Structure 1
Amino acid sequence: MTMILYGISNCDTVKKARRWLDEQGVAYRFHDVRKDGLDAARLQGWIDALGWEKLLNKAGTTFRKLPDAEKEGLDATAAKVLMLGQPAMIRRPVVEADGDISVGFSADDWRARFAA
């Protein structure tokens, strides 16, 4: 299984997820979407699989700091532009493993999916 964990290195949830994977001995590759970038095609694949509403982190500081005009009337196209421009707006971590895409971290869910 080739797992890629996408996130931001200083994100607490990403740190928890990486720590959990390390403790379980699960091999993965980390991709920092802020430092390493994120291409539009990959983000579109995530949107197609999960929906932009699930990917866009409206509770995060970056989104909350946006002017109200940018927050109102969001659709898939506008959300994609926001997430590409400011990857911190993407809910984290996004995990690609065995052709499956998921977002967020839950030790219980991950134990069922990834633990050997």
Structure 2
Amino acid sequence: MLIYGLKNCDTCRKALKALPNARLVDVRDDGIGKEVLARAWAEFGAALLNTRSTTWRGLDEAERARDPLDLIAGHPALMKRPLIEAGGEFYLGWTPDTRRALGVD
């Protein structure tokens, strides 16, 4: 099981603590593969892009108009976190639905 997120993200830390067999992939330090991003985008669409983040608010209109996958690759903090890959499935966020699907709680 992989958790794509940021090592200093509180939500990612909560997920990692609750899923002791998971490994954190810090998208800022390690990056995230284009194929993983493409699969996640195909499944979650615009929900994958965190438009409430400080990073998003700091972008100008021209930057915001770029391809969302290029934006996330260039600014990893723009990805909604955590993105969890388990058993070939993706889960986005640390919601009650995600926790239930992963057998946590």
TM range (shorter): 0.7 to 0.9
The unaligned stretches of length 5 or more in structure 2 are: none
> How much has 1:7 moved relative to structure 2?
0.3
Report what 1:14 is aligned to: 12
Point out the structure with max Rg over C-alpha: 1
Q: Structure 2: how far apart are the matches of 1:91 and 1:112?
A: 19
Residues 66/14 of structure 1: CA separation in 2 closer, same or farther (3 Å cut): same
Aligned partner (choices 89, 92, 97) of residue 109 of structure 1? 97
Aligned-residue Cα RMSD (Å) equals 1.7
Q: Secondary structure at the match of 1:19?
A: helix
Query: Equivalent pairs: percent with the same residue?
Result: 38
Report what 2:87 is aligned to: 98
Runs of 4+ in structure 1 deviating by more than 4 angstroms, as ranges, are none
Residues 111/41 of structure 1: CA separation in 2 closer, same or farther (3 Å cut): closer
Write out aligned runs for 1:49-68 (5 A). Answer: 49-51=43-45, 53-68=46-61
- The 8 Å contact of residues 2 and 22 in structure 2, kept in 1 or not, is answered as yes
The unaligned stretches of length 5 or more in structure 1 are: none
Write out aligned runs for 1:14-33 (5 A). Answer: 14-22=12-20, 27-33=21-27
TM-score, normalization: structure 1?
0.80
Report what 1:69 is aligned to: 62
TM-score, normalization: structure 2?
0.87
Bigger relative contact order, structure 1 or 2, given CA contacts below 8 A and separation 6+?
A: 1
- The 8 Å contact of residues 50 and 102 in structure 1, kept in 2 or not, is answered as no
